[in-house]
Amino acid sequence: MIAKVYSAIPYGYEGQLIEIEGDTSKSLPAFNIVGMANKTISEARERVRSAVVNAGLSFPNKKVTINLAPAEVAKDGSHLDLPIALNILILSKQLLQSDVTGKIFAGELSLDGSIKPVRGIINIIETAKSNGYTEVFVPKENLSQARLVPNIRIIGVSTLIELVLHLKDVKHIKNTSDQSISVKNTLTGLPLLDDVTGQNFAKRAITIAVAGHHNLLLSGPPGAGKTLLAKTAANLLPPLSPEEQISITKIHALSGMPDQIISGRPFRTPHHTSSTVSIIGGGIHASPGEISLAHHGILFLDELPEYPRNVLEALRQPLEDHTVTITRANAHTCYPANFILIATMNPCPCGYLGDPDHECSCTTHQINTYRKHLSGPILDRIDLILHVDRVPSYHFSSVHVENNKTDNTRCFTNQTQIQTDLPHPVTDDAPHSFPEHTQAQKDILQALSLQHTRYGRTNTYNGDLSSQDISVYVKMTSSGQKLLQQAADRLKLSARAYFKVIKVAQTIADLDQSTEVGTEQIAEALAFRQQI
């Protein structure tokens, strides 16, 4: 007799449908599992045997052979415990084949017959749905996360005997809609723009970066507030769409969060001692790294030159393609990595190069070695680069704070690198002010709405545009085009940098609610490409 039960397993960022075939013979009692099963699945023999017996069911006193098809696909994890147990119950005639037809099962079994959560449950649900299945049985602790996927019936089970009684129509499982949900908030305790005194130019850069999904690098001496500024960006991120929430929760579930729903956009802050594998992804199981865990959010790299050069160079392809391909001897998968990179750095190892109040103690060799960690190709992939000076101490007095109320005036600087007669937005003595945090959030949402309307989808931003897209979507005035061309010639901009200026200028136009990119937007975009 042959029994068949269907399941699915995570396979990289996607999933793989698995057919569990079972057969019995009258040979000496044995229990074998074949079909490229790893050690975790091989150990399922003892878990399944104990779970079946302790659930009050009988285990066949025969030779049992379980085949996991397709055989050439490596299987990993404890997801197949439950379908293997059901297969054995069919072989021993405690269930009928018709009881499991058209259904998908996944779950890890305890020795007492209870069912534990498994990782990658969204992969399993999406695989079942794409293969035409309409009913999936999952561990009850995975239920809330599994229900993020719409238009498919999902039933949470707690024990093996509970599932058997349900399949035999003896006692149906009732999963209430108010099933407790474990929600992870990734943005607790982070500052707002109002918490930062001064630094209006940097605040403007952060608003632009979030509004258009642009990468940002802040350079400046210790105590300038670079890290604080970078963290304010997390609270400017817009709410998640349902599709984005599924994608983010799916990635985090693969990394070891099987029962949590991610409620906000991620803000990942790996330490500079992190390995290439931990940031890019990989390892034995080709797991997602920090750049994928930051998908649809922010990857914050504090003190960028302190990271190993090989780690930074590995960011080049993900920053360009918004995906990362992990290839290992036994695994090949592609993870999404569409994040905003926000990084900070000091101008030199001691941090005081160019500081009028502190003398730099670094040698020329030390400075050159420090800066060599950032290659030209990496800097070329960063849209906004600016220097942040320390705020004078008198700015922190209550009198000055009171007099420094915002008036929604655009903040510019004449620190642009065009040392020619090209026009600057304003002079240094112009008033610098910035909208409060709530106003910045409102401006960002309006800019994002314009982008969604322009591109016809909610997952494309100005920062994602290709050169072909720019020619289709960006409307630039002739004077703006002339200014950009002059700047490109005099600043020796690369082709990538040239188009990045246009994309930043388009975001500035969106923040201004302008239908065209003119000289004002181009000039401001150029001001954000400073030398470090």
Q: Is the pLDDT at 489 greater than 60, yes or no?
A: yes
Quote the percentage of the chain above a pLDDT of 90.
73
For residues 437-458, average pLDDT: 94
Q: Give residue 530's pLDDT.
A: 85
Token pair, residue 468, equals 């072909």
Q: What is the mean pLDDT of the chain?
A: 88
* Burial group, residue 408, by CB count within 10 angstroms (0-12, 13-18, 19+): exposed
Considering only 46-50, 418-422, 513-517, which range has the smallest mean pLDDT? Answer: 418-422
Token pair, residue 509, equals 């136009």
Tell whether omega for the bond before 70 is within 30 degrees of 0, i.e. cis. yes
Strand partners, 193: none
Q: Give residue 90's pLDDT.
A: 97
Q: What is the DSSP string of 394-455?
A: GGGSHHHHHHT----PPP--S--S--SSSPPSS-TTS------HHHHHHHHHHHHHHHHHHH
What is the CA 28 to chain-centroid distance, rounded?
52
Q: Topology of 193-527 in CATH?
A: Rossmann fold (3.40.50)
Non-local (6+) Cβ contacts of 21 within 8 A are: 2, 3, 4, 66, 67, 68, 69, 87
pLDDT band, residue 182 (cuts 50/70/90)? low
Quote the percentage of the chain above a pLDDT of 70.
89
Q: Is the pLDDT at 260 greater than 90, yes or no?
A: no
Check residues 217 and 457 and name the one with the higher pLDDT: 217
Strand boundaries in 35-120, DSSP class E: 63-69, 103-105, 108-109, 115-116
Q: Give residue 406's pLDDT.
A: 42
Considering only 173-187, 298-312, 356-370, 402-416, which range has the smallest mean pLDDT? Answer: 402-416
Non-local (6+) Cβ contacts of 173 within 8 A are: 155, 156, 157, 162, 163, 166
Report CA-CA distances (Å) from 153 to 116, 128, 139, 140, 281: 20, 11, 14, 14, 33
For residues 488-514, average pLDDT: 95
pLDDT band, residue 420 (cuts 50/70/90)? very low
pLDDT band, residue 230 (cuts 50/70/90)? very high
Contact between residue 22 and residue 65 where contact means Cβ atoms under 8 Å apart? yes
Contact between residue 265 and residue 297 where contact means Cβ atoms under 8 Å apart? yes
Q: Name the strand (E) or helix (H) holding 504.
A: helix 495-511
- Nearest C-alpha neighbor of 326 from the set 315, 337, 335: 335
The CA distance from 136 to 155, in Å, is 6
**CATH class (in words) of the domain with range 2-180:** alpha beta
Q: Give residue 187's pLDDT.
A: 60
Strand partners, 2: 23
pLDDT band, residue 434 (cuts 50/70/90)? very low
For residues 305-325, average pLDDT: 94
Other CB atoms within 10 A of residue 399 CB: 8
Q: Give residue 357's pLDDT.
A: 85
Q: Is the pLDDT at 289 greater than 70, yes or no?
A: yes
In the block, tokens 């190892």 appear at 349
For residues 63-91, average pLDDT: 93
Q: Is the pLDDT at 408 greater than 50, yes or no?
A: no
Q: Is the pLDDT at 231 greater than 70, yes or no?
A: yes
Strand partners, 282: 287
Q: Give residue 395's pLDDT.
A: 64
pLDDT band, residue 396 (cuts 50/70/90)? low
For residues 99-105, average pLDDT: 96
User: How do residues 103-150 score in pLDDT, each as one tens digit?
Assistant: 999 999 999 999 999 999 999 999 999 999 999 999 999 999 999 999
- Nearest C-alpha neighbor of 327 from the set 88, 12, 1: 12
Q: Give residue 429's pLDDT.
A: 37
Q: Is the pLDDT at 412 greater than 70, yes or no?
A: no
Q: What is the CA radius of gyration of the chain?
A: 28
Please name the amino acid found at residue 11.
Answer: Y
For residues 201-212, average pLDDT: 96
Q: Give residue 433's pLDDT.
A: 43
For residues 197-220, average pLDDT: 94
pLDDT band, residue 222 (cuts 50/70/90)? very high
Three-class DSSP category at 31: strand
Q: Give residue 290's pLDDT.
A: 97
For residues 26-48, average pLDDT: 88
Check residues 391 and 121 and name the one with the higher pLDDT: 121
The CA distance from 82 to 162, in Å, is 12
Token pair, residue 461, equals 């931003």
- Nearest C-alpha neighbor of 11 from the set 119, 86, 94: 119
Non-local (6+) Cβ contacts of 218 within 8 A are: 202, 205, 226, 229, 230, 342, 343, 344, 345, 386, 388
What are the residue ranges spanned by the domains of the chain? 2-180, 193-527
Q: Give residue 179's pLDDT.
A: 46
- What does the angle CA 496 – CA 499 – CA 502 come to, to the nearest 5 degrees? 150
pLDDT band, residue 180 (cuts 50/70/90)? very low
Checking DSSP bridges between strand 267-268 and strand 298-301, what pairing results, if any? parallel
